[in-house]
Amino acid sequence: MENLEVRQVSDEYREITELIASPDIEVRKLAARNLAKLALRAVESEQDSKALSGLLSGAEDDNDRGMLDQIELDLSQSHERYRRTIMGMPDTMFFLDRDSIFRGCVTSDLVPLAIAEEEFIGKTIEDVMPPEIAEQGRNAINNVFENDELQIFEYQLDMPDGLQFFEMRIVRIGSDEVLGMARNITDHKLLENELQAKHDRLESMIFNISDVIGIIGIDGTMQYISPNVEKFFGWKPDDLIGTDGWLIIHPDDLENLKKDFIDLLANSDADKKVEFRYKCKDGSYRYISGTASNLIDSPLVGGILLNYHDISERKQLEEEIFKLTLHDELTGLGNRRYLQQRMNEIELSGRRHPISILSIDITDFKQVNDIFGHAAGDRVLKEVAKVLRETLRPDDCLVRMGGDEFVAVIEHANEEIAESVVARIHLRMAEVSAMYPVKLSIGFATSHDRLDNLDEIYSIADTRMYGHKRTQKTGKDLLNGYDILLSFDFIPDLGNVTVKVVPLFIIDLNDTLPPT
């Protein structure tokens, strides 16, 4: 600490004693504050003690002597109190004036100064500190005098034992003086930097893994979401944290997911596999799969921990594979397995009666393959499938059973509607320009009773189709029909053979259709 001159201490002390005797209470308060400041500045100062002793020895009467004795006692007690306080603090205290000049310093033996007091007392902060720190310090001092508010800033110094970090707190203690309290925070800063490095490393790892991590509170609020959510779903963490976690779930998946959530809440430490559609920021949905864990009792989590990843590509592949198992590759229609699935669904749903089932066959299709080849036969199958699909309603079930056989299941269709559908199929086929002579044999049966077995209804329709097919070959076609010729954009090379297209059968649409 700076050594104070005896005269200076005596003058300051005399002024204080005069102010203490003032009848004005505000003046006495000011004197008390100045006395405390003098005590701080006198810590461990032998010359200050001598100055006070000299002042006491010069008292002229007993009254002055008694008053000074009491002041000396108060000052001594205050001196000791502040000394012990300061010695127990990990701070170095600097006194600076309005011009940022160092006027004093108080420190404990446990916190050595980087430079000796005589090298900075009486100098400005710019004379002592590096430019960047000096600028921070002067700005803080100016703010203290302007706003009378505590100012805090951090700085670092390259010292003999390495780089050291400090925190400076500056507070106003007088009209023209501030107190700066510097604390070495190197250990804290190194620990903080280490923790930040670990945090950054963890975030980098999380950002680059394929799983998104989230925490949902018991009220459904999103409490945490890992930063890689932006990479996969477009959301920034701040877009979701604090919002209702159910808002990003597809409406059709909400009910089941909420049931899973309730089950998890009821079982501490429980885990549950979840799969649902997740809303992206662009409004689209992605399929995700993951695990939800009840960690509400964990002080580090305090909610439902979600660990999930995008399975949209896998889901799409599964759907494509499933579609292949239920659909005919050539025509794109459903297959025999699909027909059975649809009829089971109709029976389980209570059905929508009446239901008519059509069994459709391409008559003498083998001749098309034999004469024009299998490639031409495939094109005939595709064309017939297209005509049937365009003739039926979008929701009607249409399948290719294999070979040249097709089946249609039409809900809410009685015999009259089924007859009109058969007629429309023949008319639609007649509109197609022809190259290959093709005939369709169609039989149908209708179910009016919910207890009917649809497989048996289909069997009846199939039997009637074969009956129709036989009558065509014998010329006794009860259903009648049009001469159907399909046209393609190629003609097979038949050499000198002449192909003559002739009517195969005639349909009178006014004829009565056979009973079903």
CATH code of domain 91-188:
3.30.450.20
In this predicted model, which residue has the larger pLDDT, 239 or 199? 239
Q: Closest Cα to residue 489, out of 364, 375, 352?
A: 375
- 356 burial level (CB within 10 Å; 0-12, 13-18, 19+): buried
Q: 327-486: same fold as 210-312?
A: no
Q: Chain-wide mean pLDDT for the chain?
A: 78
Per-residue pLDDT at 109:
63
What is the distance between the alpha carbons of residues 364 and 171, in angstroms, rounded to a whole number?
Answer: 105
Residue given tokens 């889901």 in the structure block = 315
Per-residue pLDDT at 495:
36
pLDDT at 10 over 60: no
Percentage of the chain modeled with pLDDT above 90: 32
Per-residue pLDDT at 20:
54
* 445 contacts 461 by C-beta, under 8 angstroms: yes
8-state DSSP, 314: H
pLDDT at 498 over 50: no
Element (H, E) at 74: helix 62-87
pLDDT at 451 over 50: yes
**pTM value > 0.75:** no
DSSP state letters, 408-455: EEEET--HHHHHHHHHHHHHHHHTS--SEEEEEEEEEEEE--TTS-HH
pLDDT at 516 over 70: no
Region 280-298: mean pLDDT is 92
395-440, pLDDT tens digit by residue? 899 999 989 999 999 999 999 999 999 999 988 887 764 555 578 8
- The DSSP bridge partners found for residue 166 are 155, 184
What is the distance between the alpha carbons of residues 413 and 428, in angstroms, rounded to a whole number?
Answer: 20
The domain at 327-486 falls in which architecture? 2-Layer Sandwich (3.30)
8-state DSSP, 100: -
* 330 contacts 404 by C-beta, under 8 angstroms: no
* 484 contacts 472 by C-beta, under 8 angstroms: no
In this predicted model, which residue has the larger pLDDT, 327 or 209? 327
Identity at 359, one-letter amino acid code: S
Q: How confident is the model at residue 7 (pLDDT cuts 50, 70, 90)?
A: very low
Region 471-489: mean pLDDT is 43
- Give the full edge-to-edge strand order of the sheet including 91-97: 102-106, 91-97, 177-184, 162-172, 151-159
Lowest mean pLDDT of 24-28, 139-143, 456-460, name the range.
24-28
Query: What is the fold of 210-312?
Result: Beta-Lactamase (3.30.450)
What is the distance between the alpha carbons of residues 516 and 514, in angstroms, rounded to a whole number?
Answer: 7
Identity at 67, one-letter amino acid code: M
Sequence-ordered list of residues with C-beta below 8 angstroms from that of 470, at least 6 positions apart, any chain: none
User: What residue ranges do the domains of the chain occupy?
Assistant: 6-87, 91-188, 210-312, 327-486
Which of 22-31, 256-265, 316-325, 483-492 is predicted most confidently? Answer: 256-265
Lowest mean pLDDT of 105-119, 324-338, 354-368, name the range.
105-119
